[in-house]
Amino acid sequence: MRILHTMLRVGDLDRSIKFYTEALGMRVLRKSENTEYRYTLAFLGYDDEDKSAVLELTYNWGVTEYELGTAYGHIAIGTDDIYATCEKVRSAGGKVTREPGPVKGGTTVIAFVEDPDGYKVEFIENKSAKAGLGN
């Protein structure tokens, strides 16, 4: 078995697609609309779905925001240059909520940003991503 995708409900599909493609470098893999049940799905990722886990962005027509709740944590993305990645997010109008630096009690360099709907995205430097946080 493997993880296929993570679904996020978004309030503005075009705004979210712009963030994930322009600020985070993903590409739109496919989109579909269901007119009967009034929703649109967009699947985004860094590689094809048969090779990599992807994001499913779900836009329920007419719903512009969601209560995020307290159970959701974040999406983690590995990056070669965490500082440049945060700057790219910032220059694209994104919000960096934790500047790059070592995780508390460890040496792994991480940072956090928020997508347009407030979902947290963690960046982890690729050179230490496999070692695990705190190592």
Task: Using the predicted structure, report yes or no on whether residue 135 has a pLDDT greater than 50.
Answer: no
pLDDT band, residue 105 (cuts 50/70/90): confident
Yes or no: say if 121 and 115 are a contact pair by the CB < 8 Å rule. Answer: yes
The least confident of 44-48, 73-77, 115-119, 125-129 is 125-129
122 is catalytic: yes
Q: Rounded distance, CA 132 to CA 51, Å?
A: 22
Name the DSSP letter for residue 103. Answer: P
Q: Which of 38, 50, 39, 34 is nearest to 7 (CA)?
A: 39
Q: Is 56 a known ligand-binding residue?
A: yes
pLDDT band, residue 3 (cuts 50/70/90): confident
Which is the catalytic residue, given 22, 49, 114, 122? Answer: 122
Answer yes or no: CATH 3.10.180.10 is held by domain 5-60.
yes
pLDDT in the model for residue 131: 64
Q: Is 114 a known ligand-binding residue?
A: no
CA dihedral for 45, 84, 99, 124, sign (positive or negative)? positive
Global pTM reads 0.85
Domain residue ranges in the chain: 5-60, 75-130
Q: Which CATH architecture has domain 75-130?
A: Roll (3.10)
- The overall average pLDDT reported for the chain is 92
- The most confident of the ranges 29-38, 100-109, 122-131 is 29-38
